[in-house]
Structure 1
Amino acid sequence: MSVVYVSPTGSGDRSGSSKANAAAIDSLNSIVIKAGEGGTVVLAADEGAYTTTRSLTITGSGVTITATNRDGTSGVAVFEGSRAENWTVGQANGNELFRIAAGADNLVLENMHFVNTGTAIRVIGDVENLTVRDMEADNVRRFFENLISGEEQTATISGLLIQNVDVSGFSKNAIRLQYDTNNVLIQNVRGDSERQDGDNFAMGVHLDDTVHDVVFQRVIMENAIQTRDATEYWNGDGFSAERGTYNIYFRDTVARGNADGGYDIKSSHVVFDNALSEGNGRNYRLWGDDIVMRDSTGRDPEKIGGTTSQGQVWVGAGGDVTIINSQFEDAGTSTIVFNNEGGALHLIDTEVELAEGARLTSGPVTGLSERDVDRMPPAGSSSYEPSPAPDGGEGLLPSLVGLLEDVLGEGRSVTNLLEGLSHDLLASTGSSRNFEFSTNRDVSWADDPDALAGYLQDTGSAQTGHATETWASDQDIATPADLAGIDVQFMASPDLPDLPASAFLLNSGEGAYYNPGQGNVEDGFSFLIA
């Protein structure tokens, strides 16, 4: 493993051997290859912007590309492209920056800020295990996409993490995934189109072909629009997934202010948990089969323009949707709360508030009780006013305690859950931390491999052979009480044995993976609470 250095124009002998001899950014790929598997390429973060307007193709594997300041502290490398600062339709889209070639596996790209760029990151061939994190992008056509180039037939990504990313101003997509891309976690990401208009079919996230096993957690997509004549259909979705995609999970996600669908989902096997959709033409536009929505909210849909209807939930022909313990609120008279155009729509314990004069249903809806419906005075055709995003759920402490009590049974105290603790990143909101937990008994994989019981499979679509969790916080944690407000996501492999619930698995640290061959958890601590 080696560390090599890059700066905007290079310095010294430009070999990359030290900061004083940093290579120029134009030679990035040769430097990646020089770093080798397990190596690190360090971009100078405080020596000016990288004004590269040509593409940088990466063919090397197993390398982390990061950025630091002269003093060695973590920094952000700024890349300035060729897209017009105040882009409008008809102007050039701008340059592509990073192009990741087939076989460039196990790459990590982090600590970068893209400004005025056509596409920041494009995967052009099949790759595995790609991580993109701690990024910002301002005024791009797309932040991330996979699209073939040259003689490649596919650009499938098997294992993708996009984390801690903020995109402000996009005309096409924040993220576009296609081919057979699979095992994807998109976490702590915000994409605001800022209503960049005229680049047809703007969508915050677009999933196509047979993309599958995708988890969205704490992801916000807003303000995608395609302005057309009043007699035409206006596009613009927050989250869009085409037929053929499957196993999609939304947790603590937000779609807001999009001209068409907040969530326009044709996928099969979809779960929404604690989703919010507000101020979109149709908050939830659902076409796929086996779609389950739990503990979610639709609020104040707004028809921005064109021929679309204004509604909370729209179900297309062939759709099969079950909504559980959710709520829909709106004082707009133009709203159709539940519009079923040939599918199946079933409600369980779901509450509705709607304006007097608004339509509650169009088409068949089962499970809707009059006691769950309240009418309110109207506030115009739409009552949309932007509101804060959800806070990420009920927090780790109450949810985890509840889960543990369910597993351990009554009479087993979990208030002493936290005895030891460690954390490593004290950065911005949503930064990841490593925590160490222990209780009455610690059981390692090697000591008691049969005690893999009681794990929580939250999505049903986790990576084969892995059990991972991500815990996030924006504050220092010192006591159990401090855990309130921290969200937790549990993912467990369906390949793990389905044993009686007598123990509970916790892994600490982001990217802590269960290693079946070695019987341990790598890059983190593991405890079984029994």
Structure 2
Amino acid sequence: MITQGGPGSIIHIRADENDFYDLTGRTLRIERGGTEQAPVTIRGVRSDGSVGYAHLHSDRTPWTLPTSPETVTDTSQWNPGGDLFLVASGAQHIVFEHLDLRRAGNAIKLSDRMHGLTIRNCRGYNVRRFLEMNSNIDVSDVVVSHVTVIGFSKHCFRCRGTGGNWLFEAVSANSGRQDGDNFAVGIGINEMAHGIVIRDSEFANCHDSQNRYWNGDGVSSEEENSNILIEHVVCHGHTDGGLDLKSSRTTVRNCEFYDNKINVRAWGDIALINNITRSAHLRGGVGYAAHIGVYANKEVTANLRIDGIKMLEKNPDVSLFSLGGENATISVVRYEIDKAPGTALIRKDRASGATMIANPPLL
């Protein structure tokens, strides 16, 4: 259909009340696309022409979001599910909209380099990953906007390879505590991906109890990533970091973090501006709960600058700052702290050669 329609074509998938498309054993493979001026659009629409969400599903083990946000589901023995869409070599400038993608291993998978991907006004439910991509490919000029995903057990969105210019906007990703698949994360950024904006979004309840140290983050980045902006984002309920950032030239502003083991974990060149952290929560695994942690390893050392932060903590067993790693540094200006009596301001962790400067002094 894309070949017949050419650039600028619009493909409708009927989305009337009883239209459910079972793609078990079949993946919709896309090998053609549009141009920057005339993208190809694949959208759900009702037969009367009004907006509707086309429901496509594969064969992932059925699941329903539990009533309690603390209920954990073990997915280790599940059927992970097949892929729904595979965007393959030759496809450029594709728009997905008004799709309801369910019970998939990968709702949308990118297998080769491409430019100009837009996913907007879509929903996902019970997927291993909503957006996956192969390693070390150039995928650039990507917009993920107004997308809600409930239930995932790996990266909800994976951003990696060598490409840049990615925007995540108005995204809501709730893992639903699907455990047993080794490392759930709302947005996982790695390899050489750069030039990424995440704004006006929420990431919740990533749960990973597979190892002694429990992972599970809202947003994570690695040392090769750079030029990342995170703003107006809320991260809560994760068994590790609200944010876990090893990237360089990374700015986090006007965000809120709560109910995570460590609300913000910083390993790279990070600036926190006008953020709120509150009520850190250790659910399990080794370690302890804290609001802000700075660390170092062989590849990267934290240089964290905080300009404006509000910290609220009622549990005296929680530390506000965790200092770890030789040569890591943290500077703090413009802060407001409201803590329970006995709450530790600073806890030194592991190789505790970190340097902390606060103005005015914290102690």
Q: TM over 0.5: same fold?
A: yes
Mapped to 2, the partners of 1:243 and 1:305 lie a distance apart of 27
**TM-score with structure 1 length normalisation?**
0.61
- Within the candidate set 130, 151, 162, 1:180 is matched to 162
Q: What secondary structure is seen at the aligned counterpart in 2 of 1:83?
A: coil
Q: What secondary structure is seen at the aligned counterpart in 2 of 1:350?
A: strand
Corresponding residue number in structure 1 for 2:263? 283
Aligned length: 334
Corresponding residue number in structure 1 for 2:219? 239
Q: What secondary structure is seen at the aligned counterpart in 1 of 2:358?
A: coil
- Which structure has the greater CA radius of gyration? 1
Following superposition, the deviation at residue 362 of structure 1 comes to 3.0
Mapped to 1, the partners of 2:210 and 2:343 lie a distance apart of 26
Corresponding residue number in structure 1 for 2:22? 51
Following superposition, the deviation at residue 228 of structure 1 comes to 4.4
* Contact persistence 1:192–1:224 (CA under 8 A): yes
* Contact persistence 2:57–2:84 (CA under 8 A): no
Tell me the percent identity. Answer: 31
Mapped to 2, the partners of 1:335 and 1:226 lie a distance apart of 21
Q: Is residue 2:236 matched to residue 1:256?
A: yes
* Contact persistence 2:182–2:210 (CA under 8 A): no
Q: What secondary structure is seen at the aligned counterpart in 1 of 2:85?
A: strand
Q: What secondary structure is seen at the aligned counterpart in 1 of 2:209?
A: coil
* Contact persistence 1:102–1:155 (CA under 8 A): no
CA gap 1:37/1:256 in 2 versus in 1, 3 angstroms? same
Give me the CA root mean square deviation.
1.5
Following superposition, the deviation at residue 88 of structure 1 comes to 2.5
CA gap 1:228/1:41 in 2 versus in 1, 3 angstroms? closer
Q: Is residue 2:334 matched to residue 1:349?
A: yes
Q: Is residue 2:248 matched to residue 1:268?
A: yes
Corresponding residue number in structure 2 for 1:362? 347
- Within the candidate set 80, 94, 99, 1:107 is matched to 94
Corresponding residue number in structure 2 for 1:189? 171
* Contact persistence 2:41–2:95 (CA under 8 A): yes
* Contact persistence 2:199–2:231 (CA under 8 A): yes
Q: What secondary structure is seen at the aligned counterpart in 1 of 2:20?
A: coil
Mapped to 1, the partners of 2:57 and 2:85 lie a distance apart of 13
Corresponding residue number in structure 1 for 2:75? 88
Letter matched to residue 343 of structure 2:
A
Q: Is residue 2:207 matched to residue 1:225?
A: yes
Corresponding residue number in structure 2 for 1:169? 151
- Within the candidate set 303, 321, 324, 1:338 is matched to 321
* Deviations 1:302-358, CA, capped at 9 Å, x for gaps: 001010221000001210011111111111112111112131100111111222112
Structure with more of its chain in strand, by fraction:
2
Mapped to 2, the partners of 1:89 and 1:368 lie a distance apart of 48
Q: What secondary structure is seen at the aligned counterpart in 2 of 1:226?
A: coil
Corresponding residue number in structure 1 for 2:352? none
Corresponding residue number in structure 1 for 2:69? none
User: After TM superposition, which residue ranges in structure 1, 4 or more long, deviate above 4 angstroms?
Assistant: none
* Contact persistence 1:260–1:308 (CA under 8 A): no
Corresponding residue number in structure 2 for 1:300? 279
Mapped to 2, the partners of 1:368 and 1:351 lie a distance apart of 12
Mapped to 2, the partners of 1:210 and 1:351 lie a distance apart of 36
* Deviations 1:393-430, CA, capped at 9 Å, x for gaps: xxxxxxxxxxxxxxxxxxxxxxxxxxxxxxxxxxxxxx
Q: Which protein, 1 or 2, shows the higher relative CO under an 8 Å CA cutoff with sep ≥ 6?
A: 2
* Contact persistence 1:228–1:306 (CA under 8 A): no
Structure 1 portions without partners, runs of 5+: 1-30, 149-153, 374-530
Mapped to 1, the partners of 2:246 and 2:12 lie a distance apart of 42
Mapped to 2, the partners of 1:252 and 1:164 lie a distance apart of 14
